[in-house]
Amino acid sequence: MIQRHTLSVLVENKPGVLTRIAGMFARRAYNIHSLAVGPTDDPRVSRLTIVVGTEAVQLEQIVKQLNKLVHVLKIVELDPAESVEREMQLVKVTADPDTRSQIIELADVFRAKIVDVDHDSLTIEAAGAPAKLEAMVELLEPFGIREMVRSGTISLARGSRSITDGSKLRMQRVV
Amino acid sequence: MSSSASGDRPTGRVTGAQAVLMSLEALGVEVVFGYPGGAILPAYDPMLDSSIKHVLVRHEQGAVHMAEGYAHATGRVGVCIVTSGPAATNIVTGLADAHMDSVPLLAITGQVATTAIGSDAFQEADVTGITMPVTKHNELVGTVERIAAALKEAHHIASSGRPGPVLVDIPKDILNATVEWRWPEHMELPGYRPTVRGHGKMVREAVELIGRSQRPVIYAGGGLVRAGAAEELFELATLLEVPVVTTLMARGVFPDTHELFVGMPGMHGHYAAVKAFQETDLLITLGARFDDRVTGDLGSFAPHARVIHVDIDPAEIGKNRVVDVPIVGDAKVVTGQLVRAASDKLDLVKPDTTAWRAHLTELKAEHPLRVEQPETGVIKPQTAIRAIHEVFGDEAVYVAGVGQHQMWAAQHIPYSRPRQWINSGGLGTMGFAVPAAIGAKAGLPDTPVVCIDGDGCFQMTFQEIAAAVQADLPVVFCVVNNGYLGMVRQWQSLFYDDRLSEVALPQDLPDLVKLADAYGIPGFRATTMDELGPVLRKAQEVTGQPVIVDLRVDPDEMVFPMVPAGASNDEVLESAEEWYARARAIDLPGDGVPAE
Ligand SMILES: Cc1ncc(C[n+]2csc(CCOP(=O)(O)OP(=O)(O)O)c2C)c(N)n1
Ligand SMILES: [Mg+2]
């Protein structure tokens, strides 16, 4: 059964590391839903959130193949029920004087912000779990979506534990 | 610089190029295979002062295959060094080959100057980009300070864990820059830690599973060769009296002459070995990877078997076949652990394999390899292979190309030790043998090295014979000359109704004896049975220089046994007659076009 899985991947912040990961996915015909990269509190370490749609057997292969990359430090699968997942979205919607207030109301419901206004359009910024953003887009559609952009998922496990615990990362590790 | 790159370690400032040579010396490298050119030029100057020997190849593909051959033969890291752009792209085939067969390799490429990178400069190619999918790791060196550490890490990564090729790309300005020489004490590889020791609980479970089995078989793969685990394997097999099957990559890791030896598995494996897998109730898989050429149709492979899988690469475990007892670890260490765990309670875990062994021995006797050799006249290629072994013996190392001759060489020579058989298994790279044999000879100067090549393969890389002559590496090059791309012809015969398309290679184009003459080395030809032995003996008597032996063999011979690609291993066919009878029975045009 194909399911979405969210992998949090800590990597050494080295040139080409993203290419290595993307290349591995492409070469082995694995499917990436979304990918987000950014810094962590340690400048030597970047954190990727990769959402894949795959079967359990293949997920195991993906994790193992990722682990073989020399710059990959740690991989954790995040359970959506036990983690906070967020995506960010910007949507430019057609807005005339008749629809403008309806759109603003709708944005409010989704705790989205209006970040740009023009004569005949509004740009909405929303953040949230993927399902929430999808619902918002669906409701905005009838007004006419001119353009939209959405980030990859980022995710953190709930609770106080951290996957970047220094001792586990062993950045100091030498051979 | 305060002193030469060799001998006494200079301490002052050195160039990046000197640092490259000094790093290689510090790593114990004795020989590099290479070809100079613009971007790597700075490194060729300190080479003059270095203790490291350089073998000048004739094409960069030769350099990388020589480095592979050296690594295959010695177990040490093979090193090649070439310039940027076209030279770097010329080594891609060899990197892919080494990647597939887990060959420890260090490739050093020159790169255009840092300031020119990305500008489509003369002889610029994105070499780390191009080689990413075919290397274990690679690095574009960013500063001169980084050279020594990059090479030390590359060498370590290439030779540890599951070995493989690592490429280090060094821009020319960095080779020219200077640096305070320092050999790094440590490596910083926080994301790289191969598991060496097997999990104790898994080892115990494996031994218990062996104890409960009735028809166990050891599926011995190339990982055992890489790990240097022949001794441990021998102990395990003989202690528990478990029959052994050695894959194409593992020929020789267990002696063929031993009574527990069953054969080689796979598409062109020995009948008894193929059957052993189909009938076994426990596959003890050591450093093998359930390659499609071994399993055939995966769904019907070893249908009754539970599986123990030992591999240093966790990704191999469960990749193709569901595993009952997975053990991640070095094949030598884990096999040793299995031996100890089994010895501790031998009476409990030693399976009674008497009936099973007797059955396999019978299969072996009833289904030997078939060779129909008339006493005079035409030489059957299988006979040529056997004659080569008769003359050059167990002492020699045999290096094969890719095709029918490779399969015959794997089938018909009784290997008795690891690293005695060298070939390109995973990638199936035609052109591998000539340079790989030269590289092997560079690593084993006192061992006879016999290259068993096809006439097609030979013509892909024979230009390296010049390198062998020049570097004084006397390899015996035997060409199994059947006048065809024989393996392709075989598929056309069997799967395409004998419609031969672009597979003929006139046997005397080129004339290999004249070719030998052109290189200033002896060349011999055998065309009939009575010439075969004498010609090979003459070749064996040549000392101190390479020799070419043109063995004109029957072009019509086909490799059997054969499991058609994608078919079940239950369908192993032992001869062309059997093949055609089957084809008639199921009424297919000559065949069943392979399922791939
Ligand atoms: C570089 C490369 N190109 C093509 C092939 C496909 N191929 C596999 S075997 C073979 C024929 C080899 O001919 P030869 O060297 O004469 O060996 P023979 O099979 O006749 O013994 C070919 C073309 C290959 N394996 N490698
Ligand atoms: Mg041929």
Residue B140 to residue A23, Cβ atoms within 8 A: no
B189 CB near a chain A CB, below 8 Å?
A: yes
Known active-site residue B495 = no
Q: Is residue B406 a contact partner of residue B430, using CB atoms and an 8 Å limit?
A: no
Please tell me the distance from the alpha carbon of residue B65 to that of residue B165, in angstroms, as a whole number.
12
Q: Is residue B68 a contact partner of residue B436, using CB atoms and an 8 Å limit?
A: yes
Known active-site residue B60 = yes
Average pLDDT, chain A: 92
pLDDT value for A170:
57
Q: Is residue B52 a contact partner of residue B5, using CB atoms and an 8 Å limit?
A: no
Q: Does the domain spanning B2-180 belong to CATH 3.40.50.970?
A: yes
Known active-site residue B214 = no
Please tell me the distance from the alpha carbon of residue B309 to that of residue B321, in angstroms, as a whole number.
9
Cβ–ligand 1 distance for B480 under 6 Å, the answer yes
pLDDT value for B67:
99
The distance from CA B245 to its chain's CA centroid, rounded to whole angstroms, is 17
Q: Is residue B179 a contact partner of residue B144, using CB atoms and an 8 Å limit?
A: yes
Q: Which parts of chain B sit beneath pLDDT 50?
A: 1-7, 589-596
Known active-site residue B407 = no
Tokens of B371: 């060779």
Collapsing DSSP to helix, strand or coil, B302 comes out as coil
ipTM: 0.92
CA atoms within 13 A on the CB side of B19: 28
Q: How many CB atoms lie within 10 A of CB B376?
A: 8
Contacts of residue B127, defined as CB under 8 A and 6 or more positions apart, other chains included, come to: B84, B88, B89, B109, B111, B138, B140, B167, B169
Q: Which atom of ligand 1 is nearest to the CA of B381?
A: 21
The domains spanning B200-366 and B381-552 adopt the same CATH topology = yes
Tokens of B222: 């190339």
Mean pLDDT of A58-75: 96
Nearest ligand to the C-alpha atom of residue B483: 2
pLDDT value for B7:
46
Residue B315 to residue A73, Cβ atoms within 8 A: no
Residue B132 to residue A19, Cβ atoms within 8 A: yes
pLDDT value for B572:
93
pLDDT value for B141:
98
pTM of the model: 0.95
DSSP for B415-470, please give it: --STTSEE---SS--TT-HHHHHHHHHHH-TTS-EEEEEEHHHHHHHGGGHHHHHH
Tokens of A106: 């709708």
Calculate how close chain A gets to B43, using CA atoms only, in Å: 25
Cα dihedral A9, A13, A16, A21, rounded to 10, equals: 0
How many residues are listed for chain B in this entry?
596
Q: How many CB atoms lie within 10 A of CB B566?
A: 14
Q: Does the domain spanning B381-552 belong to CATH 3.40.50.970?
A: yes
pLDDT value for B573:
94
The alpha-helical segments, DSSP class H, found in B299-380 are 331-344, 346-349, 354-366
Q: Which domains does chain A have, with CATH numbers?
A: 3-78 (3.30.70.260), 84-154 (3.30.70.1150)
| Phi, psi for residue B555 in degrees, rounded to 5 | -70, -15
| Residue-wise pLDDT tens digits, A22-44 | 999 999 999 999 999 999 999 99
Please tell me the distance from the alpha carbon of residue B43 to that of residue B180, in angstroms, as a whole number.
17
B166 CB near a chain A CB, below 8 Å?
A: no
| Residue-wise pLDDT tens digits, B196-255 | 999 999 999 999 999 999 999 999 999 999 999 999 999 999 999 999 999 999 999 999
What's the Cα-to-Cα distance from B287 to each of A60, A94, B169, B219, B305, rounded to whole Å? 20, 62, 31, 8, 17
pLDDT value for A60:
95
Residues 129-148 of A with CB under 8 A from B: none
Collapsing DSSP to helix, strand or coil, A130 comes out as helix
Residues 45-104 of A with CB under 8 A from B: 57, 60-61, 64-65, 67-73
Residue A167 has pLDDT above 70, yes or no: no
Please tell me the distance from the alpha carbon of residue A23 to that of residue B263, in angstroms, as a whole number.
38
For chain B, the structural domain boundaries read: 2-180, 200-366, 381-552
| Residue-wise pLDDT tens digits, A79-126 | 989 999 999 999 999 999 999 999 999 999 999 999 999 999 999 999
Task: Give residues whose Cβ lies within 5 Å of ion ligand 2.
Answer: B 454-456, 482, 484, 486
Nearest ligand to the C-alpha atom of residue B482: 2
Where does B200-366 sit in CATH, by number? 3.40.50.1220
Calculate how close chain B gets to A39, using CA atoms only, in Å: 17
Mutate to test the pocket of ligand 1, among B412, B424, B429, B430 (most ligand atoms within 8 A of CB): B430
Known active-site residue B420 = no
Q: Is residue B405 a contact partner of residue B380, using CB atoms and an 8 Å limit?
A: no
B588 CB near a chain A CB, below 8 Å?
A: no
Please tell me the distance from the alpha carbon of residue A99 to that of residue B550, in angstroms, as a whole number.
87
